[in-house]
Structure 1
Amino acid sequence: MLEIIIYILLALVSLAGLVLVVINLPGIWLIYISTIILAVMDKFENLTPLILVILFLLCLLSTLSDNIAAALGAKKMGGSGWGIAGAIIGGLIGMLVGGIAGMFLGPLFGATIFEIIFAHKNATQGVKAGLGTFIGIIFSIIFRFSLSVAIIIFAISRVL
């Protein structure tokens, strides 16, 4: 009976992790922790330490994907290092001040403002770089969500 309760709790924690990923927070780590607990319950028979290391590396890649995707998006749309720095700072400020909406809009506004002020670009070029950053972040969220779902399905299929 206790085992069933733990499985239900792990499922709920994993679902919470998926929600966090959608709102651009590191929910994949909740999913990873759930996977570790599942591996311990399974005595590492089906989720071996090697598999857990590989999943850890995938989670790390997922965490880094936001910055990588934002940078690539900004670069693709003509942004500079200033736009990338603005996106990172804007994302942090947006998260603190604007909650969920701020996490999405902060990088866009940050990249735009930094491109205009520090890279001396006109408003159109600044907005274009900001949009590239925003699009990169959206792609990153899609990547992280897909990876999170894949980890959940993989872990469940290995143990059950």
Structure 2
Amino acid sequence: MDFLYWILIGVSFLLAFAALIFPILPGALFMVLGFVLYGIFYSFQPFTVFFIAVQVFLLASLFVVDYFSNLYGVKRRGGSKAAIWGSTMGLLVGPFIIPVAGIIAGPFLGAFLAELLIGRKSMGESVKVGFGSVLGFLGGTVAKVIIQAVMIGYFLFVVI
């Protein structure tokens, strides 16, 4: 049964990483699910107050990075609130409309179209904002990969 338990825990962690590619998935919840599954299958005893505090801090960091990376990328290139919303919508919808490439094309097109149509910016300025959105997303994704790896590493350090 140990093998099956660890497979389920591992799958929940993999789904947390899959959420980096498919933002509609609740990656943070899958991360927490892995910890909860371990507690149910084995014991919650290794989860000290310090462990929980560190994991909650890192979990909150995931949300902060997610929000501010997009905001930073768009604002850095002169984008408006409309571009931020467009980028976010493109990020959520893009991977489903254009599999694989939609994770990059979605935020770009969302920010680009929002600036062009709502922000009334020129084509060149809108393209710059679209690229800013993609750069913000990619930077945020790298940061989230690192944070999630630290969360799992710390979890394994505590339970093994």
Fold equivalence (TM over 0.5) = yes
- Match status 1:5 vs 2:10: no
C-alpha deviation, 1:40, in angstroms:
4.0
Deviation of 1:54 (Å): 4.2
Whole-Å separation in 2 of the counterparts to 1:41 and 1:71: 40
- Matched to 2:34, the amino acid is S
Partner of residue 107, structure 1? 107
Q: Secondary structure at the match of 1:99?
A: coil
Aligned length, in residue pairs: 159
Q: Which amino acid aligns with 2:12?
A: V
Quick one: distance in 2 between partners of 1:40 and 1:100? 35
Q: Is the 1:21–1:27 Cα contact (8 Å) retained in structure 2?
A: yes
Q: TM-score, structure 2 length as denominator?
A: 0.83
How well do the aligned residues superpose, as a CA RMSD in angstroms? 2.3
Q: Which runs of 5+ in 1 are unaligned?
A: none
Instruction: Give the 3-state SS of the residue equivalent to 1:5 in structure 2.
Output: helix
- Given that 2:21 and 2:103 are in contact with CA atoms closer than 8 Å, whether structure 1 keeps it comes out as no
Q: Percent identity?
A: 22
Tell me the equivalent position of 2:134: 134
Q: How far apart are residue 10 of structure 1 and its match?
A: 1.3
SS, match of residue 21 in structure 1: coil
Residue matched to 2:125: 125
Instruction: Report the Cα offset of residue 60 of structure 1.
Output: 3.8
Q: What residue in structure 2 maps to residue 77 of structure 1?
A: 77
Question: Contact between 1:112 and 1:127, CA under 8 Å: does it hold in 2?
Answer: yes
Give the C-alpha shift of residue 53 in structure 1: 5.1
More displaced 10-residue stretch of structure 1: 5-14 or 71-80: 5-14
* 1:22-79 deviation digits (Å, cap 9, x = unpaired): 4544434212211122234453322125533542443243135333211110111111
Q: After the TM superposition, which segments of 4 or more aligned residues of structure 1 sit over 6 Å from their partners?
A: none
Q: Which residue matches 1:146?
A: 146
Question: Is the Cα contact below 8 Å between 1:116 and 1:123 reproduced in 2?
Answer: yes
